[in-house]
Structure 1
Amino acid sequence: MEKHIEAAQLIQEGKLEEAAKLLNEAIQEDPNNTIAYVNFGHLLSIIGEKDRAITFYQKAIEIDETMATAYYGAGNTYFEQEKYEEAIGMFKEAIANGLVEADAYFMLGLSYSSIGVLPYALANFCTATEKNPNDVDAMFQYGLTLAQLEQVDEAITVLEKVVKLDETHADAYYNLGVAYTFKEDGEKALDCFEQALKIQPGHLLAGNGKKQLEAFLKGE
């Protein structure tokens, strides 16, 4: 087994020191081993050495400008550092170089959402859900972004899909409650707030939403 492949398995098992040793050896034996640089970047990101991780991802890109996984790894690391503009650039490069998987579009959507560019976030969340219709996180973010853009009917449709995929998604029920309140459907809104509280009794937003809605319905 090649050392960088064995190292990747060790990283998954949490044996990071052993993995680092193997990756060092792999790079010494072949300084152009792009996969070893990417795996080392991943390892460094895991242990919190984000800037060093970026250096390793960039080294892989210098050797091979089409290394999609290096761009994706760098994008994730920039995202974790809250450097969203840099993350966007990296995720776009990952996609441009063939990493057209749901996760790449999801992370690109999260990055755009984090800087408030909601139409671009929406487009990428939409693509992520098309590529993986069972991705609860992507579906939820898609529904949430629709709601933020005041596309309430579409948001309800998507959030209903979320709770079908995950019946314990308290935040989806809460946001459905907000959406139904906006649609002036008090009965459905109340039911959604109650579902959220049943799943997560300490859900403050759902509790407050239920309290305010009940007071409104009673004419208080």
Structure 2
Amino acid sequence: PKKIAVELQEFQKNPEIKIALVKVEGLVVTDEIKEMLEKGNQLFDAQKYDEARAVYEEILTKYPDAYPIWKNVGNCYFAQEKYAEAEQAYQKILEKDPNNADAMVAIGNTFLNRGDKDKAFEWYGKVNVDKITDPVVIYNVGTMYYNNSRFSEALAYYQKAVEKQKNFTDALYQLGLTYLNLQKNQEAINAFEEYLKIDSESPRAEQVRAFLAYLKK
């Protein structure tokens, strides 16, 4: 069968991190929390991680029930490559919410960036993909597997991400690449054709068309 060499993306030490206050049942999100969180986020975006962390920790001191903000604390440490401290912060979330998929993935990332792939994938393996509602979280786990050439595992996550969000172009693209790596060319064709129904104009769409032209020879 035809095989296309696909360049793997290197896992970034400082991946783009989206920070948001997760709604917590029973927590009244006051104007003060919103203002402090916005201040912390601005400092984080300015790469002033120590100052941002201090703001997030102040929120947690005043409002202990706002435990999802421990992820923001962990993200500050993660951006500074202080992975042990980041892990400890993410663990604080699991103390309150043992099934929190975001925290499990984040802990896995800390081990991956410390070079402990076995421990990283042990944490990724704790995530129950069927219970994750956010397709971005599902996609992120799939990408961890993909970036480490574990294509069979990546496939299951990309399939689920597309199932959750049909127009998720990043997931469709990665799904096609994963099928290519598994030499499942007809499935790759199907994924890439679905991609072009959503995005036909971008530079990546041109690459997708090139893949399709090769596969259909």
Q: CA deviation at 1:126?
A: 0.7
Residue 148 and residue 172 in structure 1: after superposition, are their counterparts in 2 closer, same or farther (change >3 A)? farther
Does residue 45 (structure 1) correspond to residue 87 (structure 2)? The answer is: no
TM-score relative to the length of structure 2: 0.66
Amino acid at match of 1:43: C
Alignment of 1:10-89 (within 5 A): 10-14=39-43, 16=48, 19-29=52-62, 34-78=67-111, 83-89=116-122
Q: Verify the 8 A CA contact 2:102 2:137 in the aligned structure 1.
A: no
* C-alpha separation in 2, matches of 1:168 and 1:82: 38
* C-alpha separation in 2, matches of 1:69 and 1:159: 28
From the CA coordinates, give the structure whose radius of gyration is larger. Answer: 1
Flag structure 1 segments of 5+ consecutive residues without an equivalent. Answer: 185-220
Question: Percent identity between the aligned chains?
Answer: 23
**Which of 89, 100, 110 pairs up with 2:143?**
110
* C-alpha separation in 1, matches of 2:113 and 2:206: 27
> Could you say what the CA RMSD is over the residues aligned between the two structures, in angstroms?
3.2
Structure with more contact order per residue of length (Cα contacts < 8 Å, sep ≥ 6): 2
Q: Verify the 8 A CA contact 2:37 2:55 in the aligned structure 1.
A: no
Q: CA deviation at 1:128?
A: 0.5
* C-alpha separation in 2, matches of 1:97 and 1:58: 22
Amino acid at match of 2:92: K
* SS of the residue 2:160 aligns to: helix
Structure 1 stretches of at least 4 aligned residues deviating more than 6 Å after TM superposition: none
**Which of 128, 134, 145 pairs up with 2:161?**
128
Alignment of 1:199-218 (within 5 A): none
Q: CA deviation at 1:102?
A: 0.9
Structure with higher helix content: 1
Residue 99 and residue 85 in structure 1: after superposition, are their counterparts in 2 closer, same or farther (change >3 A)? farther
* C-alpha separation in 2, matches of 1:83 and 1:35: 26
* C-alpha separation in 1, matches of 2:36 and 2:107: 19
Does residue 155 (structure 1) correspond to residue 184 (structure 2)? The answer is: no
Amino acid at match of 1:153: Q
